[in-house]
Amino acid sequence: MPFVPLVPFCGWLLCLLCLFVADVLRDLLRSEVNVLVNQKILVVGGSGDIGKAMLSRFLADEAVVFATYNNHPEALAAFSQNPNFSAVRMDVTNLASVEAAYEEIQTKGSLDSLVYNAGITRDNLLLGLEEKDWLEVIETNLNGAFRVARTFGKIFFRKKAGKMLFISSVAGTHGGRGQSNYAASKAGLEALVRSLAVEMAPRGVLVNAIAPGPIESKMTKDVMNLASEEVLRRIPLHRLGKPEEIAAFTAHFLSPEISWVTGQTFAIDGGFGL
């Protein structure tokens, strides 16, 4: 039998062991830093300022992200090259469209979390507020949330796990001048969250809401143009919030670490409600 030197063999084995340990450590470190690694998240309403900030954060944390758009897919073009991103058309005011999006997403696997971020404003003082403006806001902000929750809730109900997070507003609690329709839709949304939390808890599904205060975004631009000093006076930190701050809170909340909170609305508002 020919003699086989053990030193080269041991060196080769040690090299393989080092590579294996390095891979394990890398995965452990990545999971600690990026809390959403491999989590599958649906963001309904991803084309606004807060929505885009969420998409950027979730993808940076290596989540698998689905984002919906209605009429303007180009709004999500910046994310299209990321292999973990998929854009899906959905009109939350149309049940058939919501169900079609559900079927499309189902072909790509299950979900771990859903974020309902769809919302519109049609601000006006009561005497100038037309009925169509009232109905459009309620239809998107509240009725749309119901359609999405009922349709996609089946996923979480079956798997006995998951998170549903709805983006509300401080207007739902505190109201706002010229925002009776918007405030009513968000107050209704928070009541919906509390009821769904009770219904879904036996299946291990967490249902919560985030209520941002005034944020630097296109949606709040009109409000700031009308009453910027009044708004800033009500914020103890005396500045508007940033979309990235909402995204950061959301990312942490969707992480597996948060598992014993449901039926709550969290005000991220710089102290606006104090």
List residues bridging with 203 in a β-sheet: none
Burial of residue 183 (number of CB atoms within 10 Å: 0-12, 13-18, 19+) = buried
Three-state secondary structure readout of 242-260: CHHHHHHHHHHHHCCCCCC
**Maximum separation of any 2 CA atoms in the chain, in Å:** 101
Question: Catalytic annotation on 182?
Answer: yes
Contacts of 21 (CB under 8 A, 6+ apart): none
Please provide the size of the chain in residues: 274
Nearest-angstrom CA–CA distance, 185 and 77: 30
Nearest-angstrom CA–CA distance, 55 and 80: 11
Q: Do 164 and 262 contact (CB within 8 A), yes or no?
A: no
Name the residue among 90, 213, 221, 198 with its Cα closest to residue 152. 90
Helix (H) or strand (E) holding 207: strand 205-212
Residue type, 13: L
Q: Do 41 and 114 contact (CB within 8 A), yes or no?
A: yes
Which residues are part of the catalytic machinery? 182
